Amino acid sequence: EPPHVPYAVPWLRNTLSFVWDTEGFVVKMQKRFGMTTPFRMGVAGESYVYVPAGSEFLGALMRKSIRDVNNKKAVMRALRDQFGVPAGDLPIWALDESGFGAKPAPGFEGWPPERRPYHSQHRDFQAFLAGGAALDAMTAKFVECYTRQLLLPPLGQVRNGGGENDNDKHGTDWIEVPDLYAFWRRHMFHAAVYALCGSHIFDVCPDFADQFWAYDEALSVLLKRVPPWLAPARYAARTKAVESVRRWQASARAKFDWHDQAAVEADWEPIYGARIMRARQVMWRQIGQSETGSAATDLGMIWAANSNIIPASFWALLHVALSPNVTARVRAEVEASISAADANSLDIGLLCSKPLLNSVYLEALRYSVASTVGRNAASPDRPVRLGPGGNWAMATGTSATLIAFSWFGGHDATFWNAGPGGRYPVDAFWAERFLAYPDDPSSGPLLAATTATTTTTGSEGGEDENNIKGRGERTVEDDRAATVVTAGTQGHWYPYGGGSTHCPGRFFAKQELIAALAVLLMNFDVEITDVGAAMAARCDRRYFPLGAMPPDGKIPARIRRR
């Protein structure tokens, strides 16, 4: 069994150290026990086992069947602490042991359909988020709203003296942006919520964006279960955000015509937005969840759609903007993705297939995401075994939660290729990290795959900087020949979790990030005005381990219409 982390106070065990500095605590234990040794700890009265990164540990855990492990305990914590679902609604979720498959789990064959929220939710996610017309409509609405927002004054202003017919003559003056992340977050959030929830939510709650980000900032305190009397403002932020979603839902119910079948089946309409949100309203009625409980769970949906991809996409924008070479190559891929039917729009499918844009997307998630994966044994009769040969008995029954943080896998210096001469260590953003170039055997994301080629070349077993092409700046032609590589990264790159509970929103998230970056760079020049501040910026650890972390300070820039 995994070794226990020592503690001094029995009833506290490791709570204070873990809660105060989760990242530092894990790093300290890795030094104590080794990078590939799991360890058991006690936090807030519960037992946890830390699962190391790697295919034999975390990768193996994600490959396990839902019959062996599940994330139900983590879901219940999120519903209660993160989203604020009322206590009266929690049994709806807690009592459902039927699983999320169409066929109920053994012993639950007669379980009523209206008491299967996990299955209902999974079914709707697969139908409306995994692809097809519903996903295409969401992405199209995101791009439409995002583009419209960017082209509003002052960025989209016409030249001085421009008349009503001169709307194509945009101003070319630079606009100062004192905080690039705040600018990016504002536009992306509005467009993403518009695509998911429609325009009506902003009619009912015009200040919803401010409420949402106040709630997002409160989450680290809420999830640590700090008593309300010690953090009243944090709990108030959650209550305010839930109430805003509840008011939107109440207004939408009054306005929407559920007898209009065309509206019910539309891929997008302005009152509820995407089809997935209308499906969720039907589900809430079927399972008997309260208005507040329904609002809280839909707040969770909105949070999941924004909290990761907006900070992650900012890091992509920042590091592309810092490199004129990468900016030019990204623009070349964007220009090659302009729709054949409309010169002012993008072919999203083609855009999202471009090698460099894909690598930038993958690298942004590796660089910035510190998400949590939690699993529990599904049955006391099935102990969970992981590691080489399954030699670690990680948990028996539901006595311990298996927990991992994507940050450590994504920042494992023994795993990731650091580029020529170690130029791009794991704490650096490298746009080409996930690309393999046919003329460069040292390229690609994996250190192990490139070690042989880089240690047998040049004098004294070292690397000859002039021997392998690509030591200078890459070209558009190089990118066209490159291959995106993710094979072999399982257990180290998992920003969306994995296995049977893989994040269902990952398809929209990818399209959202790539499209947002493409639309901005297609229409605007972005210049970082304080390169020192940009290079010094780090992920804000206050958000560890809740997902993608924003920058820890302001980064000024200036933007102008191209």
Give the model's pLDDT for residue 171. 57
pLDDT band at 472 (very low <50, low <70, confident <90, very high): confident
The average confidence (pLDDT) of the chain is 91
Q: For residues 12-37, give the mean pLDDT.
A: 94
Is the pLDDT score of 23 beyond 90? yes
User: What pLDDT was estimated at residue 265?
Assistant: 95
Predicted confidence at residue 70, as pLDDT, reads 87
Confirm whether residue 197 is marked as ligand binding: no
Q: What is the pLDDT of residue 461?
A: 33
**CB–CB of 176/558 below 8 Å?**
yes
User: Average pLDDT, stretch 119-138?
Assistant: 96
Q: pLDDT: is 380 or 9 the higher one?
A: 9
> Residue 275's closest CA among 137, 142, 140?
137
User: Whole-angstrom Cα distance, residue 384 to residue 68?
Assistant: 7
Mean pLDDT, residues 189-211: 98
Residue 505 has phi, psi (to 5 degrees) of: -90, 5
The confidence score (pLDDT) of residue 372 equals 94
CA dist 34 and 41 (Å) reads: 15
Among 361-375, 392-406, 525-539, the range scoring the smallest mean pLDDT is 392-406
Q: How far apart are alpha carbons 255 and 199 in whole angstroms?
A: 13
CA-CA distance, 144 to 131, in Å (whole number)?
19
In the numeric block, which tokens belong to residue 265? 């089946």
**Number of Cβ within a 10 Å radius of residue 542:** 13
Q: Strand, coil or helix: what is 158?
A: strand
- Give the per-residue pLDDT at 399: 76
Q: Evaluate if residue 334 carries a pLDDT over 80.
A: yes
Give the DSSP letter of residue 39. Answer: E
Cis amide linkage into residue 3, ω under 30° from 0: no
Q: Is the pLDDT of residue 518 over 70?
A: yes
What is the per-residue pLDDT across 32-86, written as a single tens digit (0 to 9) for each?
A: 999 999 999 999 888 999 999 998 998 888 888 877 888 999 999 999 999 999 9
Radius of gyration of the chain (CA): 24
pLDDT at 125: 96
pLDDT beyond 50 at 167: no
pLDDT at 26 over 80: yes
User: Residue 159: its pLDDT value, please?
Assistant: 33
Burial group, residue 239, by CB count within 10 angstroms (0-12, 13-18, 19+): middle
Q: Which residue has better confidence, 117 or 64?
A: 117
More confident residue, 319 or 160: 319
Q: How buried is residue 81: exposed, middle or buried, by Cβ count under 10 Å (0-12/13-18/19+)?
A: middle
Q: Are the CB atoms for 382 and 400 separated by under 8 Å?
A: no
**Which pLDDT belongs to residue 318?**
98
pLDDT tens column, 141-155: 999 999 999 998 877
At residue 468 the predicted structure's pLDDT band, cuts being 50, 70 and 90, is very low
Tokens 């459902």 correspond to 96
pLDDT of 462 strictly over 80: no
Please give the Cα distance from 294 to 96 (Å, whole number).
17
Residue 467, pLDDT above cutoff 50: no
What does the pLDDT average to over 111-121?
94
Parallel, antiparallel, or unpaired: how do β-strands 175-177 and 435-436 relate?
Answer: unpaired
Whether the predicted pLDDT of 213 surpasses 90:
yes
- Please report which helix (H) or strand (E) contains residue 384, including its range: strand 384-386
- pLDDT of the residue at 376: 87
Q: Is the pLDDT assigned to residue 164 strictly greater than 70?
A: no
